Structure 1
Amino acid sequence: MMKHILFTATLLLLSNAMTAQNDITQPELKGHIEFLSSDKNAGRYPGTKANKRVVKYIIKEFKKSGITPYGNSYKQGFTARLRVKKDVAPRPDVNTWNVIGYIEGNDPVLKDEFIVLGAHYDHLGMGGPSSKSDHEGIHNGADDNASGTSALLEIGEKIAANRHLLKRSVLLLAFGAEEQGLLGSKYFTENPVVPLSQIKLMINMDMVGRLNNENHVYMGGAGTFPGGVELMKSLGEPLGLTVFAHAGSVGGSDHVSFYKKDISVMGIHTGGHPQYHTTEDTIDLINFPGQEKVCNYIYSALMKVATTDYKMEFIRQD
């Protein structure tokens, strides 16, 4: 009898562990944002020890989820020129990285096509020319863009757990130096690890942690692939989300670098707020139930394209 009880308990523990791996959970989202937006990481500024620490963290999480590098390394290094205030002498260029994870599809033909899911992990450090605060201090960047990075890690974990469903392959891209002028995504699109012609869609997450009471999700670029606007609106309904899917309005974050290379894109966010680029963008303002909902929405959109032969072609928007 005791052996039976122990066996049952073991099965339950294993089942719970598998569920944790398969599901996007609020505790995991919170854990990622707590680390990324901590004072220790001092605003995740390029060229700092904190930047290196965050890169190591992302790689560790990819490995934990069974997400492999594409090629020999998760890291794609590049040099970033840092923005400075007007009339301030240029600062020395610094070294930073994109972090690239890979989940291979299963279809013998479609696995050579890629869906990119991306988010930038850097922020403003102590402020600088992009800050909207009237004083210097740690810009924790909980929503911008620890929220997008945490979403990347959690959605990536769920994709990896369901990799057997994939037809197309998935690249997970954590971009460096976005706040310095989209430098990480620009570097990737100039030095891609796969031919750009094989990237069929880039989904970018930048500020996805502040879902409002009306459950509004916003995106630009939904019209850059066939049926995108209709698809994205329909996927929001089961989750109780009201989706503002603009066919164009492509601008403002790393997906722009891909759009300029004639790649279909979507830039997804939960809206602006007064704490944007200030020292007040902190974890206590993150809506974790809302972020979980948004992550599941983005997961369902990616899987709709990655697990089927959904027709993909680039449609330019003015």
Structure 2
Amino acid sequence: MPRKQIILLIFFAILSSCKQEKEVTVSMQDDVAFLASDSLQGRETGTPYEIQAANYLQQRMKEIGLLPKGNGGTYFQTFSFKPKKDPHSEVQFVAGDSTITGTNVIGYVDNKADKTVIIGAHYDHLGMGGEGSLYADGEAIHNGADDNASGVAVLLDLAKKLKDSVTGSNYLFIAFSGEEMGLLGSNYFSKNPTIDLKKANYMINMDMVGRLREDKTLSISGTGTAPIWAQVLNANNPGFKLVLSESGVGPSDHTSFYLQDIPVLHFFTGQHKDYHKPSDDSDKLNYKGMEIISDYILDVIADLDDDAKLAFRETKNESEDTPRFKVALGVMPDYLFDGKGMRIDGVTKGKPAAAAGLQKGDIVIKLGDSTVVDMMSYMRALSVFEEGNATEVTVDRNGKKIRAKITF
């Protein structure tokens, strides 16, 4: 073979090698940048843009080396449903006219083990806004970088890390559709599983894990669903300020698995002013924080690898105790605050709190005649008021007590 041809062959071999190397080194930041790009128009369930995201996730799972575990030998599990007219009714999974079709994307690592760990994160979002949006200025692309491209990026990162390193369990990775419409994808999978759910050891859910704060506060729900959770989470903690909640029921996809008597955990870095708004963009995420969270989850999984199947434990449904209220203060609570009172994480313009001069960082310690010591007592205090009522609110602002008049 002529020397020139040999050189060309070597060049193309190197070029091919570089391309392959580039494929396997896709970062979490790359995954978020694609999923939260304007071109995907907010990944609303049932739209062509969600299908584009599903195709991307399918390709990423292939590159990582996950086996397809959807329907018919594919990575996809589709489900069709009619949109709910009554918000309190259950969704009907049906085919036919006037239905929407969602697509779960499912990959699998088969280690021929007796137990399977399920790792999930929803990839759908709000599209151009609509129901669920907190944006008041009309239609706009809701990119959902934190909610929940962040969780999907951590899911893919864990798939890469777990594939060949921790082999005592099988691993099922699910990117759920339809979460924003009512946990639809996880609900459907839990009732139409593509594995034997009797082998499911536990389920880990990542939903909004992209905004780890400087103090490293990390919320983990579901810690009461297995007796060992608190011990394992604390033993492997690399320095997070953990805020633990026992309930297995919450507003994310782990709930669907808890209701099938499977132990669950939900990882969450907290609410923020960009939640369900067009401003939830990829440049605002803490990627180093996501890396630390991914490593933490990996350590927890590895710690349990040689253990027997976890014992499931039923927990109290905290949402059943939530008071119903007719008015709103117009603030975003800091759900990661573990001090006394309710700390304000954001104030909405034009609402009662803004009119009263309340600020981000204020800690509500009294509302009307009620002392506020936590989120639940704040909601109870708020539930007694109706539109048109006026009262006094007391906040702690940098150690100073400030009183203000509130009109609902």
C-alpha distance in structure 2 between counterparts of 1:183 and 1:78, whole Å: 9
Counterpart in 1 of 2:377?
none
Alignment of structure 1 residues 90-105 onto 2, 5 Å: 92-105=98-111
Corresponding residue of 1:151: 154
Residues 232, 245 of structure 1: 8 Å contact kept = no
Amino acid at match of 2:220: M
CA apart distance, 1:48: 1.4
Separation in structure 2 between the aligned mates of residue 186 and residue 123 of structure 1, nearest angstrom: 17
One-letter amino acid matched to 1:148: G
Q: Aligned residue for 2:263?
A: 264
The question of whether the paired residues in 2 share the 8 Å contact of 1:79 and 1:96 is answered with yes
Find the residue that maps to 1:76 and give its secondary structure: strand
Structure 2 unmatched ranges of 5 or more: 1-13, 88-96, 317-408
Q: Offset at 1:36?
A: 0.2
**Which residue does the alignment assign to 2:272?**
273
Deviations, residues 6-36 of structure 1 (Å, cap 9, x unaligned): xxxx9xx99xx59x95xxx8x7011000000
Which shows bigger deviation, 226-235 or 76-85?
A: 76-85
Aligned residues: CA RMSD: 2.5
Residue type matched to 2:169 in 1? Answer: R
Amino acid aligned to 1:79: S
Query: How far apart, in 2, do the equivalents of 1:125 and 1:133 lie?
Result: 12
How far, CA to CA, are the matches of 1:81 and 1:123 in structure 2? 18
Are the structure 2 counterparts of residues 297 and 83 from structure 1 closer, same or farther at C-alpha, using a change threshold of 3 Å?
Answer: farther
Cα offsets for 1:87-146 (capped at 9, x unmatched):
xxxx9321121111111125xxxx132110000000000011111110220000000000
SS at match of 1:236: coil
* Structure 1 position 39 matched with structure 2 position 38: yes
Q: Distance in 2 between matches of 1:302 and 1:80?
A: 34
SS at match of 1:115: strand
What is the TM-score with the length of structure 2 in the denominator?
A: 0.66
Rounded to whole Å, the distance in 1 between the matches of 2:130 and 2:234 is 38
Structure 2 residue corresponding to 1:130, chosen from 124, 129, 132: 132
Q: Tell me if the contact between 1:84 and 1:128 (Cα under 8 Å) persists in the aligned partners.
A: no
1:251 aligns with 2:286: no
What is the CA–CA distance in structure 2 between the aligned matches of 1:85 and 1:167, rounded to whole Å?
45
Which of these two proteins has the greater Rg computed from alpha carbons? 2
What is the identity percentage for the equivalent residue pairs of Structure 1 and Structure 2? Answer: 37
Structure 2 residue matching 1:222: 3-state secondary structure: coil
Deviation at 1:300, TM superposition (A): 1.6
1:213–1:158 Cα change, 3 Å:
same
1:128–1:116 Cα change, 3 Å: same
**Larger strand fraction of residues:** 2
Instruction: State TM-score, norm by structure 1.
Output: 0.85
Q: Cα deviation per residue 1:221-245 (whole Å; 9 max; x = unaligned)?
A: 11211310121122123xx222222
Answer whether contact 2:223 2:229 (CA < 8 A) is retained: yes
Is the Cα contact below 8 Å between 2:116 and 2:202 reproduced in 1?
A: yes
The aligned amino acid for 2:48 is K
| Pair 234,32 (structure 1): closer, same or farther in 2 beyond 3 Å | same
Other structure's SS at 1:180 match: coil
Question: How far did 1:313 drift?
Answer: 1.2
Amino acid at match of 1:141: G
| Matching residue's letter, 2:57 | I
User: In 2 relative to 1, CA 79–293 (structure 1 residues): closer, same or farther, beyond 3 Å?
Assistant: same
Q: Who is 1:284 aligned against?
A: 283
Over residues 40-63 of structure 1, what are the superposed CA-to-partner deviations in whole Å (9 max), with x where a residue is unaligned? 001001121111111111110111
Which structure is higher in RCO with an 8 Å CA cutoff and minimum separation 6? Answer: 1
Give the Cα separation in 2 of the matches to 1:60 and 1:68. 11
- Which residue pairs with 1:316 in the alignment? 314
Deviation at 1:279, TM superposition (A): 1.0
More helix by proportion, 1 or 2? 1
User: Corresponding residue for 1:6?
Assistant: none
> What does 1:1-318 align with in structure 2 at a 5 Å threshold?
28-70=27-69, 72-82=73-83, 92-106=98-112, 111-135=113-137, 136-162=139-165, 165-237=166-238, 240-248=239-247, 250-305=249-304, 307-318=305-316
1:233-272 deviation per Cα after TM superposition (whole angstroms, max 9, x unaligned):
22123xx222222222631100001111111101111111
Aligned partner of 2:106: which letter?
I
CA distance in 1, matches of 2:86, 2:272: 23
Cα distance in structure 2, aligned partners of 1:131 and 1:284: 20
CA distance in 1, matches of 2:249, 2:298: 21
**Structure 1: which amino acid aligns with 2:120?**
G
Q: 1:219 to 1:236 in 2, by over 3 A?
A: same
Q: How many residues align?
A: 289
- 1:52 to 1:311, Cα distance in 2 relative to 1, 3 A: closer
Query: Given that residues 85 and 128 in structure 1 are in contact (C-alpha distance below 8 angstroms), is that contact kept between their aligned partners in structure 2?
Result: no
Deviation at 1:173, TM superposition (A): 0.6
